[in-house]
Structure 1
Amino acid sequence: MSITSFLIYCFIVTFTPGPTNIVILSTAHNFGTKKAMEYAYGATIAFGLLLGISAVLNTVLIAVIPKILSIMQIIGSCYILYLAYQIYKMDVSESAEIQTATFLSGFLMQFVNPKVVLFTMTVIPSFVMPYYAAPAALAVFAVAITIIGFCAFVTWVLFGVVFKEFLKNYQKTVNMVMALFLVYSALMASGVVELIKR
């Protein structure tokens, strides 16, 4: 398992602007740290729940359809490449829709956030399951990814306005670097590198 590409993928997806992070940023700016953290707690619990669902669902699918892992790796890699393109062309100056800053809204946002749903459904089969199949190992990775996600949410709370201004000032450069890292992660997750080595 390439821990480096796994971590790069997790950090880029969780730390880059997306619906949840933008709402947290806006909430911290408009309603303060306490409300933003309440929203972040809800988002974190839902994020962990989605990762758990992904691990269970993919484990069942692999038992029923053994070739599903390869298919999920390809789907995951394609999604990572799509995400790299989206990050490359993203305009962070677009204002996020202000939502009610509550635990419940943070929780529910994750289930309708395509970035989070696709990430949680592809990260486990793409990076973890080709190397680890034991339920305990999958649980450890799900917890680790949830912690990374929570750290990302807290970062958006703490650096709210400053981080937003930095992204505005260096938007194209930051987006390009993040996109290149995601392309690297997609190549590692696809299994192409391992096929070339053979």
Structure 2
Amino acid sequence: MDTTSFLFYCMIATFTPGPTNIMILSTVKNAGARQAMTFSYGATIGFGLLLVVSAALNSMLMAVMPKVITILQIIGSAYMVYLAYKIVSNHSSQATAEQTATFRFGVLLQFLNPKTVLFALTVIPAFIIPSYSGFAAVSVHIAAITLIGFSAFLTWVLFGSVLRTFLQKHQKFANLVMALFLAYAAVMIWT
């Protein structure tokens, strides 16, 4: 396995803006870093579970992948547009942020997030399975990928914490930018 390519792929896929990272940033802005960390813990567990499911079902998923990807594109894009609408239309009360940015929602979002699902469906067969077949080696790589994902989530929490005052001061603009990023991501799924 080309470790450098593997690490670049993992870093780019996890650190770039996507539904989870935008949700983390929005949560920090509206409810603070503690609530964003609760959501991030859930997102990390969901991300790890998704990788485990991908590894376990890799051969079966490859046979039905075109159907799965189409379904995920439809559901994921619709959900991302919904999140974008909620961000731009919500005047971001702390109570609303605390209700949506929960541990459970963090876990669930990973299974609805097309970016995360497509990453999990591609990283295992592209990098890990061709080079490693043992349970231990695959498990270590899944743990490493999950740790990279958690690092990305933590970076977004820190980024949001540093910019929280600015984001709150320019709330309408910040919400619009976050919503546009989500809408752009939803559109890019189809191109």
- TM-score, length-scaled by structure 1: 0.63
Alpha-carbon distance, 1:61 to partner: 4.5
Which 5+ residue runs of structure 1 have no aligned equivalent?
A: 63-67, 76-93, 169-198
- In the alignment, which residue of structure 2 is the partner of 1:111? 111
- In the alignment, which residue of structure 1 is the partner of 2:35? 35
- In the alignment, which residue of structure 2 is the partner of 1:153? 153
- In the alignment, which residue of structure 2 is the partner of 1:20? 20
Alpha-carbon distance, 1:95 to partner: 8.2
Which 5+ residue runs of structure 2 have no aligned equivalent?
A: 67-83, 167-173, 175-191
Alpha-carbon distance, 1:160 to partner: 1.3
Query: Deviation digits for residues 21-59 of structure 1, max 9, x if unmatched?
Result: 00000101111010000000000000000100111112x
Q: Residues 96 and 155 from structure 1, CA distance in 2 versus in 1: closer, same or farther, beyond 3 angstroms? A: farther
Q: How many angstroms apart in 1 are the aligned matches of 2:13 and 2:150?
A: 12
TM-align CA RMSD: 2.9
Alpha-carbon distance, 1:108 to partner: 0.8
Structure 1 or 2: more helix by fraction: 2
Q: Residues 138 and 96 from structure 1, CA distance in 2 versus in 1: closer, same or farther, beyond 3 angstroms? A: farther
Aligned-residue identity in percent: 57
Q: Residues 141 and 42 from structure 1, CA distance in 2 versus in 1: closer, same or farther, beyond 3 angstroms? A: same
Q: How many angstroms apart in 2 are the aligned matches of 1:138 and 1:54?
A: 11
Asked if the contact 2:33/2:161 (under 8 Å) is kept, the reply is no
Q: Residues 55 and 162 from structure 1, CA distance in 2 versus in 1: closer, same or farther, beyond 3 angstroms? A: same
Provide the aligned length of Structure 1 versus Structure 2.
Answer: 140
Q: How many angstroms apart in 1 are the aligned matches of 2:86 and 2:47?
A: 20
Asked if the contact 1:156/1:163 (under 8 Å) is kept, the reply is no
Q: Residues 148 and 132 from structure 1, CA distance in 2 versus in 1: closer, same or farther, beyond 3 angstroms? A: same
Query: Deviation digits for residues 68-109 of structure 1, max 9, x if unmatched?
Result: 69xx9xx9xxxxxxxxxxxxxxxxxx8873761111111111
Q: How many angstroms apart in 1 are the aligned matches of 2:126 and 2:163?
A: 30
Q: How many angstroms apart in 1 are the aligned matches of 2:85 and 2:33?
A: 19
Alpha-carbon distance, 1:159 to partner: 1.0
Q: How many angstroms apart in 2 are the aligned matches of 1:120 and 1:26?
A: 24
Q: Residues 160 and 95 from structure 1, CA distance in 2 versus in 1: closer, same or farther, beyond 3 angstroms? A: farther
- In the alignment, which residue of structure 1 is the partner of 2:137? 137
Deviation >6 Å, runs of 4+: none
SS at match of 2:151: helix
